[in-house]
Amino acid sequence: VSGAVTMFDAPMAQVESPHLEAAVERLRAVVDHGDIADRAADHFRSCVHLLDRYDPRGGVPVHASIVDVRPSPSDCDFMGTEEKQALTRGSWRELRSSGEHWTMIAGANAAQAAGMLVQSAGVCEVEPLGAGPIQR
């Protein structure tokens, strides 16, 4: 399989976001501007509610390998290894970053997570879940 789909702590098959309101409060604190904070919070809730309805299990597997960058542990990891592997005809590789979802996006762990994304972009083939990169 050539190429890879890269995911960044993507929630899949979540029943209901377990930390929605805590995340909304973090967002409000960062935006810190009345009406804009309210609109950002509403938008964020709408996006999370859409993710709550998304469950890829049972669909047609993609023809690409998957690189899944996540913190350890991830609050957004709702599927087991076999369920993930069934989503692709390629391989599934998981890379674990320090921190948590928000510090990977824009906090202390963003540089490490970005490095993992850059690394995964240069990988043409990836090993199955739990294995390291192919040595060149």
* pLDDT for res 123: 52
Tell me what the pLDDT averaged over the chain comes to.
Answer: 79
Amino acid type, 51: L
- The whole-model pTM stands at 0.67
Average pLDDT over residues 109-121: 84
pLDDT confidence of 86, banded at 50, 70, 90?
very high
For 26-50, letters b (16+ CB in 10 Å) and e give ebbeebeeeeebeebbeebbeebee
Is the predicted pLDDT of residue 38 greater than 50, yes or no?
Answer: yes
Is the predicted pLDDT of residue 127 greater than 50, yes or no?
Answer: no
Query: Is the bond preceding residue 133 a cis peptide, omega within 30 degrees?
Result: no
Q: What one-character-per-residue DSSP string does 93-122 give? A: EEEEESS-HHHHHHSTTHHHHHHHHHHHHT
